[in-house]
Structure 1
Amino acid sequence: MFGYVKPLRYELKLRELDEFRGFYCGVCTSMQKIKYISKFFLTYDAVFLALVISGLKGKNYKYNKKFCIETLKKVRYFSGSDIDFAAHRFLKLLEYKLIDDYEDDGNFVKFLLAKSIGKVNVSREFENQLIALLKELRDIEKNKIGSIEKASDIFGRTLELLVSDIEGIDETNMVVLKNMAYNLGKWIYVLDAFDDIKKDAKKNNYNPILLEYGFDSGDSIDTFVDRVRPNIRKTLYCILDDIVLSYNLLEIKSYKSITDNIVYQGLFNETERILMGNNRTCPKKV
């Protein structure tokens, strides 16, 4: 469900690509400090959050250097409290999502992965709200509610929660940021549901698109995908319009060319990649 919020790399200038790598490796480093294995849960979504928070605060980071055991070379990375915030919030979300999945399907591997992430300190209020939202989403899935709107709304509120208590951002920008995060969560959920259609149909997993549009096990999944694609495209682009409208109202003071690339180009490119190819690709090292 993660990894879709990324830039259109060939449209980034060399300096911008270096800065994006600085954030990418910075979030990875922050995760690694919690527990080494946590770095393998790095997603582009967490990097985007770090970029936006830093941009709203007008941060300009200096590069740090370290040897990366994954790439076997020295890398340059950014570090700071806002980068840590993004890393920790996404790790906590992933931890509880894995636990929630384990309680739903009994897959003990997911439980072990959740426990391998390490201790991420968040407020009790945040933790309780996160647990409640994921339970709400699990109930939707368990009861096989065929509504992409209801399911995506819950995940939208989950991403909104991730940015709900960032310090150092004025009230106006915070309202807009929360709205953007909400719609970004909806977009991620719908896109992921479409991305998983064939797999979910084969394994008889919950997928609100399959239920809402009446897929039957005797139908051709390729024909079904072709049938629902126009409606899902319309849904995704309506959500993208709301994301862009919110983003345009944010007062991004630094690294704006990178976040512009992600919002104006990356999200749209990823939308069409999934809609037309329906193939999942793992995030590559940048």
Structure 2
Amino acid sequence: MFGYIVVHKPELKVREYETYRASYCGLCHSLKKQSGRIGQLTLSFDMTFLALLLTGLYEPETVTKSARCIAHPVEKHFYRENRYFDYAADMNVLLTYYKCLDDWQDERKLTACLFGQALKGNVKKLAERYERQSRYLRDNLAALSAYEKEKQYDIDKTAGFFGAIMAELFVYAEDEWAEKLRRMGFYFGKFIYLMDAYEDIEEDLKQGRYNPFTELYKKETFEQDCQQILKMMMAETSKVFEQLPILEDAEILRNILYAGVWTRYGQIRCRRKETKKEA
């Protein structure tokens, strides 16, 4: 959905990258199985991370299969299946749907309205099955929207609304790991929200849209301050991750947390420097 939570391929072993690809394809297959082809359009790297995280934590029986699809019509590709890929797929559809509603209400984006309507049938069933997650999504997106309309620029509070959403999506069950998963998801969500704001700051200001970094952008230390904030969010996320007893695919997850998440950041920063040089 956002595309910030990716692997840093150069630092992965071939076997690890193949596992990651099979996981990404596994999420795609789960989306089709759970919500049809329209569900596949919500495919994201962010929820691939969640599927890998929960698989590593709970160690379910995972089946690896091969098949052709629209994206791979000639050669068969490997994909992974287990209940946590299905769960991540369901969370992806829920998150996309409510984000579409939010975009339509706040910015009157026609594409968001149409896509949201296309997902509505699937979401009704998912909202009943995942009442807790759905409620947190609705309530916190509504609170975030209201806060943004008030033009409040408390960065921590604003990001906290999306953090609260991801905190609940990370919790598959109310068990011994729920507290740690909530904490990890909270900072993970804040990181995603703030990274998105960091990337969009110039365009948001140009279009008169809300951005939590609006006041910070006026300072000469904007880049350094943003980097420090983002590092703090990911440091807290990684700190909780290291407390979880994950062995399976742990190196892939570490690759994402310690290197992959900074891939887009580096690209954004380089692009911003080039734009300023041209100006």
Partner of 2:194: 190
Distance 1:238 1:126, change over 3 A: closer
Q: Matches of 1:5 and 1:163 in 2, distance apart? A: 14
| Equivalences for residues 61-80 of structure 1 within 5 A | 61-73=62-74, 74-80=76-82
Distance 1:133 1:194, change over 3 A: same
Partner of 1:238: 232
Q: Matches of 1:201 and 1:76 in 2, distance apart? A: 43
Name the SS for the 1:84 alignment partner. Answer: helix
- In structure 1, give the amino acid aligned to 2:23: F
Partner of 1:131: 138
- In structure 1, give the amino acid aligned to 2:180: V
Q: Matches of 1:9 and 1:114 in 2, distance apart? A: 33
Contact kept in structure 2, 1:194 and 1:275, CA below 8 Å: no
Name the SS for the 1:209 alignment partner. Answer: coil
Contact kept in structure 1, 2:8 and 2:260, CA below 8 Å: yes
- In structure 1, give the amino acid aligned to 2:138: I
Structural RMSD (CA): 2.0
- In structure 2, give the amino acid aligned to 1:119: N
User: Which TM-score applies when normalising by structure 2?
Assistant: 0.88
Q: Does 1:58 align with 2:59?
A: yes
- In structure 2, give the amino acid aligned to 1:257: E
Q: Which structure has more RCO (C-alpha within 8 Å, separation ≥ 6)?
A: 1
Name the SS for the 2:245 alignment partner. Answer: coil
Name the SS for the 1:119 alignment partner. Answer: helix
Q: Matches of 1:209 and 1:182 in 2, distance apart? A: 19
Name the SS for the 2:262 alignment partner. Answer: helix
- In structure 2, give the amino acid aligned to 1:199: E
| Equivalences for residues 160-175 of structure 1 within 5 A | 160-164=167-171, 166-167=172-173, 170-171=175-176, 173-175=177-179
Contact kept in structure 2, 1:67 and 1:75, CA below 8 Å: yes
Partner of 1:152: 159
Of residues 207, 211, 216, the one that matches 1:213 is 216
Contact kept in structure 1, 2:187 and 2:237, CA below 8 Å: yes
- 1:152-206 deviation per Cα after TM superposition (whole angstroms, max 9, x unaligned): 1111111001123x13x851x3222211110011111111101001211221111
Q: Matches of 1:67 and 1:20 in 2, distance apart? A: 17
Superposition deviation, residue 39 in structure 1: 1.2
Superposition deviation, residue 256 in structure 1: 1.1
- In structure 1, give the amino acid aligned to 2:164: R
Q: Matches of 2:65 and 2:138 in 1, distance apart? A: 36
User: Which TM-score applies when normalising by structure 1?
Assistant: 0.86
Q: Matches of 1:59 and 1:16 in 2, distance apart? A: 19
Q: Does 1:15 align with 2:18?
A: no
Partner of 2:107: 105
Q: Matches of 1:214 and 1:254 in 2, distance apart? A: 41
| Equivalences for residues 7-46 of structure 1 within 5 A | 7-33=7-33, 34-46=35-47
- In structure 1, give the amino acid aligned to 2:104: Y
Contact kept in structure 2, 1:28 and 1:39, CA below 8 Å: yes
Of residues 113, 116, 120, the one that matches 1:114 is 116
Superposition deviation, residue 59 in structure 1: 3.5
Contact kept in structure 2, 1:31 and 1:38, CA below 8 Å: yes
- In structure 2, give the amino acid aligned to 1:90: N
Q: Matches of 1:250 and 1:278 in 2, distance apart? A: 37
Distance 1:268 1:106, change over 3 A: closer
Of residues 267, 270, 276, the one that matches 1:273 is 267
- 1:202-229 deviation per Cα after TM superposition (whole angstroms, max 9, x unaligned): 211111111x2364xxxxxxxx6x6411
Superposition deviation, residue 60 in structure 1: 5.6
Contact kept in structure 2, 1:194 and 1:278, CA below 8 Å: no
Distance 1:48 1:214, change over 3 A: closer
Contact kept in structure 2, 1:195 and 1:278, CA below 8 Å: no
The number of residue pairs the alignment matches comes to 266
Runs of 4 or more above 6 Å deviation: none
Contact kept in structure 2, 1:126 and 1:161, CA below 8 Å: yes
